[in-house]
Structures are given as structure tokens and as C-alpha cells.
């Protein structure tokens, strides 16, 4: 668990390089394909010998641009499998091969050849027909789909990396002789004790062995109210120590921590397959052989019907070209990738693509309050002073003491007091009492702020104030019940 860490940016750099290479392949193919398609579809753009320029432009797209599909098809063929890449490769190569035959052995290469464009169905001389625009256009279109899918994966990966970045980078390890040593957090091992000071992140999952404090887990759970911990309590890595000094013994490190498991959950959701995606894969496995059988049947049917070899091969090639997939193999994985990635960016961990797919059957949504229907940040709503104490004076004194604390509630009180009274005075002899509150001296007066019993206060407090506090608590509970 404490071995040398893998280079943090290696995977990200590799994905970035792959995305840039795919983007370059797409842009080159797009620039070369657009003129080919326009010349084939717009007769006014067809000058003498335009077909040879079309061949010059289309050849790199079909050979180099579609190279990933050709490689995948060859790999699948060696394993006796057939996928959508097989159809793309066979369809584009069939169109390209037929076009080469028509240009060099047929009539398509003749000077002054024109490629008429019509929406009507009519018979034409197959030896003068070329399909370069189809092969180049299909290649570019599917490259676009692959690029969008890869970019969405990178976006989702960025959200995953942001989740992992929540963890602490270094830690103060406590040696048996009491000496502290700073070291990278990924070198921690189970059983190692480390020190967490107020405001620092807890380096890994562990158990408190010394000290008491309040832990802010809002970055992981969305819960804005810190949790009080003391010796024997479990703490989670990447949470923030909002109170006193803690000594923690590591119980889980590396891939076993809660943060790492959350990251694994996101990664598995991105790589998993929903039911509709598995259906698309099963359809592909059957669809590809059926397409080849239909193409062979079309070839044999035309030959038996006496249509001639040229017309028969033209019809068979047309079947292969038309069967080139567009949305079947791209739409589902892209939609799932974008959905899980966007969810991770918004702090929503989707257990798997099948869960995302099942949301269409949801008829009731249950939300927890904190950070979901609220902002997750506490604010000062109202101050209720004792009789004879001005509200401004109460806020000024309490805000001054709370301003020296790292506790989220203290920050809310200090911020609200500053907004209502202006700059806060300095505090002296500040002391944080874990689990209870804070105390200090402001302008010669001792100020205690916290929960009952107040730190350092031996009495029972003001009865009227206690009654007001209970009434406010009852109102809050009724509000939660209505939510």
C-alpha cells in the first residue's frame, strides 16, 4: 500500500494525446471529404477530369482516416468476430474498390464524365458510377462520432480526476519518539499515525487515537454541519479538521479508502454497459453476418437473373455501403458517457449505466436536505439577545470570538456579525473547547460561545434564552418534517 506512486499525469497525458491524434485525423478527413462530397452532389462543380481530383482527395481519407476501423476489422476477423468496425471497413473499402475499378477499367475515368445527381430512382451505367463521396463521407461522419465520444470520456475523466484531487497531498507522520515528519500522503501505510491540525485535510481513512475536534465532511457528503469526533471515532480521508489537533491512525490507504472507492464507482459507471447498449452489441454480432449474406444473395440473385456481372456487383456493393452504421454503435455509449460524466461534475455518483437507464421508470424522488435542496452553507438567520443586551453588542462580541475559529458554524456567525455590525474587534486568550464551543476575551469581557453547557460556564444559563432556543429548534424540526 505504501509503494511508489504512479505518475499522476501519465493517464491524463495519454488520453490527451489520443484525443489530439483523433482530432487531427478528423480535421484532415473533413477538409478532404467536403470537396469530394460537393463535387459529387453538385453537377455545376464538376469540371473536366474532376473525378481524378476526387480520387486524389478521397484516397487519404479512406486509407489513412479510416485506418482505426480497418485495424479493428482485421483484429476481429482474426478472432472470428464481427462488429460495427467490420461494416465500416468493408463498406468503405468496397465503395473505394468499386470506384477504382470504374475509374481505371470502366467508363468513369473518361474525359468529360459527369455525375448527375437526382432523387429519382433510375437505372444508369454502373461502370461510370463512383462512390468516393460515400466512402469519404461515411468515414468522416463516424470519425466525428468517435471524437465526440472520446471527448466526453475525457470530460468525464476530468470530473474523476477532480474527485481524486480532493485528497490531501502530504501528511505529518508521527513517529514513536514524538517526532513529526512531512511526507507524501500516498506513502502512508496501515497503522501509521499522523497529525491533523485545524484547517488541514485528513490524509486517509483512519481512527482517532488522540484529541477531539469537529470534522467537516461537506466535500464528500454535502453535509455542512461538522461531525464531532474524539478518540476511538472513525474519520474519512479528504475531510477537513475544523477544530482541534488530532492524531489519527491509518486504517485504510490507497485504493481501499472511501474516496478511492467513490472514484472507482464513477469509473465503473463510465465503462459499464446499459441494457440497450448490450442489446446494440448483440444486434451488431448478428447484423454484420446478415449484411454479408444479403450482399452475397444480392450478387447471386442479379447474376441468376441475367443482370450481368457489372450490375450484380454494383447492387452488392450498394448493400454493403448502405449497411454502414451511423447511430447504432455510437449514440448509446456517447449518451451514457455524457450522462455519467456530467453527473460526476455535479457531485452525483451514478452506480452504473443500467441505473441511469432505469431512471425512465422513476415516479418518486427522495432528496436529503443538505446540499441538495439547500446551498449546503450555513448563514446567520436571527440573533435573540437576553434582556437588557443590545443585539448589535451581542453580535459584535460573539462574532469577534467566532471569527478566530475554523468551525463552519463559527464562520457563519462571524460573517453574519460582520455584515450587520461592521469590522469585528480583536479577541484575546482565545480557546477552542472541542465539542462545546469557544471562549475568549473581547475588550476586557469574557465571552463564551457554544452549545449547552457553555464552555467554562458553571450555571444553567438564562431560562428565557433556553426557552427561545427550544422554540427555534421545534420550528426547525417542523420545517424539516414538511420537507
Burial 363-390 (b: 16+ CB within 10 A, else e): eeeeeeebbeeeebebebeebeeeeeee
User: 33: burial class by Cβ within 10 Å (0-12, 13-18, 19+)?
Assistant: buried
Q: Which grid cell is 59?
A: 484516397
Q: pLDDT at residue 378 above 90? A: no
- Higher-scoring residue by pLDDT: 393, 434: 393
Taking the model in full, what pTM does it have? 0.58
* Percent share of the chain, pLDDT over 90: 27
> Is residue 160 very low, low, confident or very high in pLDDT (cuts 50, 70, 90)?
low
Quick: pLDDT tens for 307-323. 788 888 888 888 887 87
**Looking at the predicted structure, is the pLDDT value of residue 24 above 90?**
yes
Section 271-289 average pLDDT: 69
Output b/e per residue, 93-127; b: 16+ Cβ within 10 A: bbbbebbbbbbeebebbeeebebeeeeeeeeeebb
Cα separation of 121 and 25, whole Å?
Answer: 35
pLDDT band (50, 70, 90) for residue 371: low
For residue 482, pLDDT over 60 is answered with: no
pLDDT(115) > 80: no
Q: How confident is the model at residue 3 (pLDDT cuts 50, 70, 90)?
A: very low
pLDDT at 469: 63
Distance CA 244, CA 211 (A): 7
Average pLDDT on 107-124 reads: 72
Q: In what order do the strands lie in the sheet with 428-433?
A: 428-433, 437-442, 445-450
Instruction: Name the residue with higher pLDDT: 452 or 414.
Output: 414
Q: CA-CA distances (angstroms) from residue 183 to 167, 194, 250, 255?
A: 14, 10, 14, 19
> What pLDDT shows up at residue 314?
82
**Confidence check: pLDDT of 438 > 90:** no
Residue 480 cell numbers, joined: 424539516
Report whether pLDDT(290) > 60: yes
pLDDT of residue 458: 54
- Domains belonging to the chain, first-starting first, are 11-115+125-162+275-340 (no CATH), 170-267 (2.70.150.10), 391-458+465-482 (3.40.1110.10)
Cell numbers representing residue 342 in the block: 456530467
**Residue 256 clears pLDDT 60, i.e. is over it:** yes
5's grid cell: 506512486
Q: Is the pLDDT of residue 28 over 50?
A: yes
Q: How far apart are the first and last CA of the chain?
A: 44
48 has pLDDT over 60? yes
Would you say residue 148 has pLDDT above 60?
Answer: yes
The pLDDT of residue 481 is above 80: no
Query: Quick one: angle between helices 50-60 and 84-104, nearest 10?
Result: 150
> How many CB atoms neighbour CB 143 within 10 A?
25
Measured distance CA(344)–CA(350) in Å, rounded:
8
Residues belonging to the active site = 368
Q: Is the pLDDT of residue 282 over 90?
A: no
Q: What is the DSSP letter of 252?
A: E
Other beta carbons less than 10 A from residue 35's beta carbon: 17
Q: Which long-range contacts (CB under 8 A, 24 or more apart) does 16-22 make?
A: 16/154, 18/150, 19/147, 19/150, 19/151, 19/154, 22/143, 22/146, 22/147, 22/150
Q: Kindly tell me if the per-residue pLDDT of 165 is higher than 60.
A: yes
The mean pLDDT of the chain is 80
Residues 248/235, Cβ–Cβ less than 8 Å: yes
Higher pLDDT, 381 or 160: 381
DSSP symbol at 429: E
Top-confidence range, 30-39, 221-230, 315-324? 30-39
What average pLDDT does this structure show over 30-46?
92
Q: What was the pLDDT predicted at 410?
A: 85
Cβ neighbours of 21 (radius 10 Å): 12
DSSP, residue by residue, 394-424: HHHHHHHHHTT---HHHHHHHHHHHHHH-SP
pLDDT one-digit tens code per residue, 388-427: 888 899 899 999 998 888 777 888 899 999 999 999 999 9
Amino acid at each position: 500500500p505504501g509503494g511508489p506512486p504512479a505518475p499522476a499525469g501519465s493517464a491524463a497525458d495519454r488520453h490527451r494525446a489520443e484525443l489530439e491524434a483523433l482530432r487531427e485525423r478528423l480535421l484532415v478527413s473533413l477538409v478532404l471529404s467536403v470537396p469530394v462530397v460537393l463535387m459529387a452532389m453538385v453537377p455545376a462543380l464538376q469540371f473536366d477530369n474532376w473525378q481524378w481530383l476526387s480520387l486524389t482527395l478521397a484516397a487519404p481519407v479512406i486509407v489513412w482516416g479510416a485506418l482505426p476501423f480497418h485495424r479493428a476489422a482485421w483484429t476481429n476477423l482474426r478472432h472470428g468476430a464481427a462488429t460495427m468496425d467490420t461494416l465500416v471497413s468493408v463498406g468503405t473499402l468496397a465503395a473505394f474498390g468499386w470506384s477504382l475499378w470504374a475509374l481505371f477499367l470502366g467508363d468513369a475515368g473518361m474525359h468529360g464524365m459527369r455525375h448527375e445527381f437526382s432523387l429519382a430512382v433510375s437505372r444508369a451505367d454502373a461502370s461510370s458510377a463512383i462512390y468516393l463521396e460515400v466512402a469519404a463521407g461515411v468515414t468522416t461522419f463516424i470519425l466525428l462520432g468517435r471524437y465526440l465520444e472520446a471527448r466526453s470520456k475525457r470530460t468525464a475523466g476530468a470530473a474523476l480526476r477532480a474527485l481524486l484531487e480532493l485528497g490531501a497531498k502530504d501528511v505529518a507522520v508521527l513517529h514513536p519518539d514524538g517526532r513529526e515528519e512531512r511526507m507524501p500522503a500516498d506513502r502512508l501505510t496501515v497503522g501509521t499515525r499522523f497529525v491533523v491540525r485545524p484547517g488541514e485535510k485528513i490524509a486517509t481513512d483512519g481512527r482517532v487515537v488522540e484529541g477531539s475536534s469537529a470534522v467537516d465532511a461537506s466535500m464528500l457528503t454535502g453535509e455542512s454541519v461538522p461531525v464531532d469526533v474524539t478518540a476511538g471515532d472513525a474519520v474519512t480521508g479528504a475531510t477537513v479538521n475544523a477544530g482541534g489537533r488530532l492524531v489519527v491512525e491509518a486504517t485504510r490507504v490507497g485504493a481501499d479508502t472511501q474516496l478511492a472507492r467513490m472514484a472507482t464507482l464513477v469509473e465503473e459507471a463510465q465503462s459499464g454497459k446499459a441494457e440497450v447498449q448490450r442489446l446494440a452489441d448483440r444486434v451488431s454480432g448478428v447484423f454484420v453476418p446478415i449484411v454479408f449474406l444479403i450482399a452475397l444473395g444480392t450478387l447471386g440473385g442479379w447474376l441468376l437473373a441475367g443482370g450481368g456481372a457489372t450490375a450484380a456487383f454494383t447492387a452488392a456493393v450498394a448493400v454493403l455501403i448502405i449497411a454502414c452504421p451511423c447511430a447504432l454503435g455510437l449514440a448509446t455509449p456517447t449518451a451514457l458517457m455524457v450522462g455519467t460524466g456530467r453527473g460526476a461534475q455535479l457531485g452525483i455518483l451514478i452506480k452504473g449505466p443500467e441505473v441511469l437507464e432505469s431512471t425512465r421508470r422513476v415516479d418518486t424522488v427522495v432528496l436529503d436536505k443538505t446540499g441538495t435542496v439547500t446551498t449546503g452553507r450555513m448563514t446567520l438567520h436571527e440573533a435573540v439577545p437576553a434582556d437588557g443586551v443590545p443585539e448589535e453588542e451581542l453580535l459584535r462580541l460573539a462574532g469577534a470570538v467566532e471569527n478566530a475559529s475554523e468551525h463552519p458554524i463559527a464562520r457563519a456567525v462571524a460573517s453574519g456579525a460582520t455584515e450587520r455590525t461592521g469590522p469585528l474587534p480583536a479577541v484575546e486568550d482565545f480557546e477552542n473547547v472541542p465539542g462545546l464551543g469557544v471562549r475568549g476575551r473581547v475588550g476586557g469581557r469574557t465571552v463564551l460561545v457554544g452549545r449547552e453547557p457553555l464552555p467554562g460556564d458553571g450555571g444553567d444559563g438564562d431560562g428565557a434564552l433556553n426557552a427561545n432556543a427550544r422554540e427555534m429548534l421545534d420550528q426547525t424540526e417542523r420545517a424539516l418534517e414538511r420537507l
